[in-house]
Amino acid sequence: MSKFVSIRNIRFMIKEVFDSKSLTEYDYYSKHTEKMFDMVIDEALTLAVKLMYPVLEEMDKNQPVLENGQVKVHKSVKKIMKEFGQGGWIASGFSEAHGGDQIPLIIRGTISFIFAASNYSAAAYPELTAGAAELITSFGSKELIDTYVPKMLDGKWQGTMALTEPQAGSSLSDITTTAYPDKNGRFKIKGVKTFISAGDHDGVGNIIHLMLARIENAPSGAKGISLFVVPKKRTDENGNLIFNDITTTSIYHKLGYRGAPATELSMGEKDDCLGWLVGEENKGLSQMFQMMNETRILVGLGSCAIASAAYLAALEYTEQRPQGRPVTQKDPKSRQIPIIEHADVKRMLLFQKSVVEGSLSLVLQCSMYADLIKVSRKDEKEKYELLLDLLTPVAKAFPSEYGISSISNAIQCFGGYGYCDDFPVEQYFRDIRIHAIHEGTTGIQGMDLLGRKIVMKNGRAGLLFIEEVNKTLKTALEIGGLEFFAHKLQNAINQLEKVAGFLINIVGKKGIDVYLSDATLFLEFYGLIVISWQWLIQGIAAKKALSQDCSKKDKNFYKGKVFTMDYFFRYELPKILGLAARLMDNDNLTVNMKTAYFKD
Amino acid sequence: MSKFVSIRNIRFMIKEVFDSKSLTEYDYYSKHTEKMFDMVIDEALTLAVKLMYPVLEEMDKNQPVLENGQVKVHKSVKKIMKEFGQGGWIASGFSEAHGGDQIPLIIRGTISFIFAASNYSAAAYPELTAGAAELITSFGSKELIDTYVPKMLDGKWQGTMALTEPQAGSSLSDITTTAYPDKNGRFKIKGVKTFISAGDHDGVGNIIHLMLARIENAPSGAKGISLFVVPKKRTDENGNLIFNDITTTSIYHKLGYRGAPATELSMGEKDDCLGWLVGEENKGLSQMFQMMNETRILVGLGSCAIASAAYLAALEYTEQRPQGRPVTQKDPKSRQIPIIEHADVKRMLLFQKSVVEGSLSLVLQCSMYADLIKVSRKDEKEKYELLLDLLTPVAKAFPSEYGISSISNAIQCFGGYGYCDDFPVEQYFRDIRIHAIHEGTTGIQGMDLLGRKIVMKNGRAGLLFIEEVNKTLKTALEIGGLEFFAHKLQNAINQLEKVAGFLINIVGKKGIDVYLSDATLFLEFYGLIVISWQWLIQGIAAKKALSQDCSKKDKNFYKGKVFTMDYFFRYELPKILGLAARLMDNDNLTVNMKTAYFKD
């Protein structure tokens, strides 16, 4: 067990729960073997332990600064980008044609999990670069790919996603950054972008922004948004890098995630900022969203990663900290026990373990779907696409929101010490809080789930999900000792169908605004059921293992899995009772509430 | 409306919900009038606006430092202690005999709420001083009172509560700081105390620790703990202040609450630290707990105060920030609306309002009980004592825990801006997190409620609570339009009786450890019902007001109250369904879970 991830759990997930090895039977992944997966994961852990974790607190305490128009970051960023480039970590998920390893997402996700758990801010730099490079390889011309992608995958240039503007955050269709075509097929960019992560820093030679902008006279709204590559420095006719008129105007001081700068950028102050169109005109938003979906899963992954580090820190502390005695022990002279032996502390640890490992399971499930999409034929492919679409908002939001509570519980395990920077949990509490906001707030995820994913293709995705659950239920019932959980999950699915039916009915009766008004709560409701499903899948794997010979250590591990599944079904899943009651209430309360009623 | 509290709501609470004026009919409070209450609240607000709020962020950013053994704090602390001393704010709740104003706790609590909302760290200095001084006046000799109390109430000397030791936090009975009697009736103190708030600073002339220690050869456990006054500087025979051998060995760097130092103190390194016994030998813990109960209510108050400031900041922002359009508006050229008009944002605001004003209501209810204890005869007095005892853990824990979510929702209302220090909500999120830990963690409060308060005197407190609720239900049913809520609350009480009955049964069947294992969840369950009751009380007051002539502005205010009650009953109270299901489950899960199962 490292300080921040459980490698035993990772192996359980990618071997016993998700048969990631099976992917190597497809041509696209056939270069790989299970052993190679193991090796790459071990290497990632070594890198995380050596390079990332040691500077976790230092990077938090020495925030990026903006000096003379240049953002300066912790010196280890340079090292990290170099190592991640040279070691092929940024490229690992790319196709061989682009210099990558064609490693499946379930393995790449696992690696991202390890890096993010060791130091989320540090991991963001290469992660953002990979995402930006992937956008270029997916939609860009050969020239754009040749110019930018190799340097990005080598870690020499930083990539960013430049979407948000001061007046357009959640409402992306309102962006006003404008691209004016010039005679050479390029564009002059003018506008302001804000909250751009790694939008400028001195750890790399150049910053490549994948930027949304509106071509002059484009239609208004989402239909008029295009995607551009806008580098901080562009190449002149002699092949030299010259300033491309992007100015970092300010840098934010954030609650957490302090190791990576969030910047405000101004393009074209001197009318000399050039951008290159990526893909088709006015298709920018949908292209970006193709990327965004993967990014959302990575946000979910980042959340479980930070919560994992907090959980393991709390676990270690509670084993070592003596305090109090068993409730039944009245002798004040008796020895104090480690606090992990108090039921309430075990409850808090089980909560954390259930959130961390349940969320990780969902994220890896989504990754597996993404991998299968790449190699499956039409029908199967569509099935996985629908499932991935449906579960993405859950995989983004559930870990982000429950992760906050999870880390709050980690702090609670430490008592007063958890409130101080002698231990890293207070940092984790700050770091994780961004995830419910960036790449689409929880509210946006709720609207996406209820307003789009549940209703798309006549609700087919939801039905496919229930089919998947039914498969799990069938397997569970074939194994002894899981009837209770299968029964509970079946009930929850019945509840889900009832709630969804009630809500769909509302659209016609009361309108779409009432239908969507509690979308965030529906998302939590759905999330609890989805995570229960993932726990049952894990429970099946654990029960199977327990039915065979295994070491004492393994037995303990699998029993821990069964207990944690049990915890989730008995402590967390019942929350759907209150949520269902709420969702099937009939009052339109938040739609009717007036702004004036909030006032004094 | 100020930036941090709603004065309209405060007036509603102390006039319309709780008839605080009625207290002036008792001798003890007869010096006061309603008009004086109003004036003192206005003055408090002025002071908060002028002196405290302006340095909120500065005190956070310039944390206390330990230099050459002396803790240095923000310069405004000196000013604040002086103003609070000279203005009679520290003394306000004390009896006239001790130079106070005999102001009722419901008014003093309201004032504390205002100060804490404006700047929690700053408010802590005088608040801690008042608490320590009250301990001396309650149990100390005349000599101790004369020596310390006037200077403390004048704000010249700081008071602290010095309980925690590195090895004894939640388990106070394990403290080892030792007091060795000398020939002059004094004691030599030796030991280490940690996490002592305001344990040293340069804003006052002296620091007076109310310290728990064990007299040499005292019985072990809680029965051998005594209370001492241990000043940083003591008076020598010539009346000069000399060093009393207390060394500040370190200072913590905290997540929030950074304006006030948390210190580690070492007593008697040169064998020259003198302490004076307060009250009887070996009665220290119960004396301290008399104070602690009031402190716990103040912690609850501090939590709603910080959450109030965050809520009002979010309210202001959501009214000003345009983003997005109504769900039914498809024209991208139409104007963006302020985000407060989105149902999901209204939901988040209603959640915050319901937590802040519901919690404040409970805290003031407790304060009112405390005030009535002071002036009531035997039977009545016992009733109020039992109710106060019962509700104290709820008043401490509910605002602390729900306050975290409340402020997390405030951040969410700001989106990315809420994650940055351009707005104060990220600070509030850090500041509030201490409250679930200090003065008894939430777990400790749960054990207190279920293990002591519910069962004491054959469960009489719980029955008295239900009687109080029944009175409220009766009044509610007499007024039109509240039947729904009365009905819901009645159901909740039935549920409570069922759960409590189930749990009491467990004691005999499965033992006290199983009974107490989910005490924290019982506390939340109980809290939701208690706060619903408080909302119904507020709803009654609002409905009464609405049935009479009132201004448009007032009408909006009362409608807001009714909507918020409605919100709490429809969105929060249903959470008891899941909690009840959990609490009446039969698995002993957390008791059976073994430490080994958590391991890799």
Question: Does this complex have an ipTM over 0.95?
Answer: yes
CB atoms A513 and B327 under 8 Å? yes
The two structure tokens encoding residue B123: 């408010």
Which chain A positions have a beta carbon within 8 Å of B194's beta carbon?
A: 416
Confidence (pLDDT) at A251: 97
* CB nearest A600 (choices: B220, B252, B557): B557
Q: What is the DSSP string of B453-464?
A: ITTHHHHHHHHH
Query: Percentage of chain A surpassing pLDDT 70?
Result: 100
Does the predicted TM-score (pTM) go above 0.95?
Answer: yes
Mean pLDDT (whole number) for A276-291? 94
Picking from B153, B167, B120, the residue whose alpha carbon sits closest to that of residue B400 is B120
A376, A387, A464 from A381: Cα distances, Å: 5, 10, 13
Helices (H), A376-449: 378-414, 425-432, 442-447
* CB nearest B437 (choices: A223, A419, A559): A419
CB B564 within 8 A of CB A598: no
CB atoms B171 and A556 under 8 Å? no
Q: Is B329 on the interface with A (CB under 8 A)?
A: no
Which chain B positions have a beta carbon within 8 Å of A221's beta carbon?
A: 332-333
The mean pLDDT of chain B is 97
CB atoms A512 and B7 under 8 Å? no
CA nearest to A583 within chain B: B571
Mean pLDDT (whole number) for B464-479? 97
* CB nearest B513 (choices: A328, A441, A598): A328
CA distance B567 to B573: 9
Q: Is B340 on the interface with A (CB under 8 A)?
A: yes
* Bridge partners, residue A179, by sequence: A189, A215
Confidence (pLDDT) at B600: 83
B445 residue type, one letter: Q
> In this predicted model, what pLDDT tens digit does every residue of A489-535 receive, in sequence order?
999 999 999 999 999 999 999 999 999 999 999 999 999 999 999 99
For residue B28, the tally of other CB atoms under 10 A from its CB is: 15
How many residues are present in chain B? 600
CB atoms B350 and A436 under 8 Å? no
> In this predicted model, what pLDDT tens digit does every residue of B172-182 receive, in sequence order?
999 999 999 99
Which chain A positions have a beta carbon within 8 Å of B575's beta carbon?
A: 575, 578
* CB nearest B598 (choices: A429, A560, A589): A560
Confidence (pLDDT) at B2: 66
Torsions phi, psi of B155, nearest 5? 80, 10
Helix (H) or strand (E) holding A369: helix A343-375
Confidence (pLDDT) at A480: 87
Which chain B positions have a beta carbon within 8 Å of A220's beta carbon?
A: 332-333
Which chain A positions have a beta carbon within 8 Å of B220's beta carbon?
A: 332-333
CA nearest to B341 within chain A: A595
> In this predicted model, what pLDDT tens digit does every residue of A48-100 receive, in sequence order?
999 999 999 999 999 999 999 999 999 999 999 999 999 999 999 999 999 99
Which chain A positions have a beta carbon within 8 Å of B451's beta carbon?
A: 327
Torsions phi, psi of B251, nearest 5? -135, 140
Strands B225-231 and B206-215: antiparallel
Picking from A502, A531, A529, the residue whose alpha carbon sits closest to that of residue A518 is A502
Tell me the shortest Cα–Cα distance from A425 to chain B, in angstroms. Answer: 10
B266 residue type, one letter: S
CA nearest to A256 within chain B: B419
Which chain A positions have a beta carbon within 8 Å of B433's beta carbon?
A: 408, 411, 419, 429
- The contacts found for A379-382 with CB under 8 angstroms, 24 or more apart, are none
Mean pLDDT (whole number) for A147-166? 97
CA nearest to B596 within chain A: A556
* CA angle in degrees (0–180, nearest 5) for A128-A129-A130: 90
CA nearest to B553 within chain A: A600
CB atoms A328 and B512 under 8 Å? yes
CB atoms B412 and A443 under 8 Å? yes
CB A98 within 8 A of CB A151: no
DSSP state, A55? Answer: G
Mean pLDDT (whole number) for A12-32? 97
Confidence (pLDDT) at B499: 98
The answer, yes or no, to whether residue B1 has pLDDT greater than 70, is: no
Mean pLDDT (whole number) for A238-247? 96
> In this predicted model, what pLDDT tens digit does every residue of B368-426 receive, in sequence order?
999 999 999 999 999 999 999 999 999 999 999 999 999 999 999 999 999 999 999 99
Mean pLDDT (whole number) for B10-26? 97
Confidence (pLDDT) at B401: 98
- Cα torsion B302, B306, B307, B309 to 10°: value is 140
CB A395 within 8 A of CB A362: yes
Picking from B369, B514, B361, B536, the residue whose alpha carbon sits closest to that of residue B450 is B514
CA distance A310 to A406: 8
Confidence (pLDDT) at A330: 87
Which chain B positions have a beta carbon within 8 Å of A6's beta carbon?
A: 600
CB atoms A577 and B582 under 8 Å? no
Tell me the shortest Cα–Cα distance from A236 to chain B, in angstroms. Answer: 36
CB atoms B563 and A597 under 8 Å? yes
The answer, yes or no, to whether residue B480 has pLDDT greater than 90, is: no
Confidence of residue A2 (pLDDT cuts 50, 70, 90): low
Q: Is A560 on the interface with B (CB under 8 A)?
A: yes
CA distance A236 to A272: 12
DSSP state, B494? Answer: H
* CA angle in degrees (0–180, nearest 5) for A95-A96-A97: 90
- The residues near A147 (Cβ < 8 Å, ≥ 6 apart) are A235
Q: Is B554 on the interface with A (CB under 8 A)?
A: no
Mean pLDDT (whole number) for B458-475? 97
Which chain B positions have a beta carbon within 8 Å of A412's beta carbon?
A: 436-437, 441-443
* CA-CA-CA-CA torsion sign (A317, A319, A322, A327): positive
Tell me the shortest Cα–Cα distance from A581 to chain B, in angstroms. Answer: 7
Confidence (pLDDT) at A91: 98
Confidence (pLDDT) at A495: 98
Mean pLDDT (whole number) for B341-348? 98
Q: Is A471 on the interface with B (CB under 8 A)?
A: no
Torsions phi, psi of A425, nearest 5? -65, -30
CB B229 within 8 A of CB B148: yes
> In this predicted model, what pLDDT tens digit does every residue of A343-384 receive, in sequence order?
999 999 999 999 999 999 999 999 999 999 999 999 999 999
CA distance A398 to A362: 10
How are the residues of chain A apportioned to helix, strand and coil, as percentages rounded to the nearest 5?
65, 10, 25
CB B437 within 8 A of CB B252: no
Q: Is A507 on the interface with B (CB under 8 A)?
A: no
Residues 386-445 on B with a CB inside 8 Å of A are: 404, 408, 411-412, 415-416, 418-422, 426, 429-430, 433-434, 436-438, 441-443
CA distance B390 to B394: 8
DSSP state, B171? Answer: -
Q: Is A341 on the interface with B (CB under 8 A)?
A: yes
* CB nearest A412 (choices: B322, B430, B437): B437
> In this predicted model, what pLDDT tens digit does every residue of A207-221 receive, in sequence order?
999 999 999 999 999
Q: What is the DSSP string of A185-245?
A: S-EEEEEEEEEEET-S-TTSSEEEEEEEEEETTPPSGGGGEEEEEEESEEE-TTS-EEE-S
DSSP state, A158? Answer: E
Which chain A positions have a beta carbon within 8 Å of B577's beta carbon?
A: 574, 577-578, 581
Picking from A106, A129, A127, the residue whose alpha carbon sits closest to that of residue A118 is A127
CB A138 within 8 A of CB A287: yes
Which chain B positions have a beta carbon within 8 Å of A170's beta carbon?
A: 323-324, 415
Assign B383 to helix, strand or coil. helix
Tell me the shortest Cα–Cα distance from A563 to chain B, in angstroms. Answer: 7
CB atoms B421 and A513 under 8 Å? no
For residue A238, the tally of other CB atoms under 10 A from its CB is: 6
Assign A331 to helix, strand or coil. coil
> In this predicted model, what pLDDT tens digit does every residue of B264-318 receive, in sequence order?
999 999 999 999 999 999 999 999 988 888 999 999 999 999 999 999 999 999 9
> In this predicted model, what pLDDT tens digit does every residue of B117-171 receive, in sequence order?
999 999 999 999 999 999 999 999 999 999 999 999 999 999 999 999 999 999 9
* CB nearest B517 (choices: A343, A437, A451): A343
Helix (H) or strand (E) holding B70: strand B70-72
CB atoms B344 and A517 under 8 Å? yes
Picking from B192, B170, B172, the residue whose alpha carbon sits closest to that of residue B287 is B172
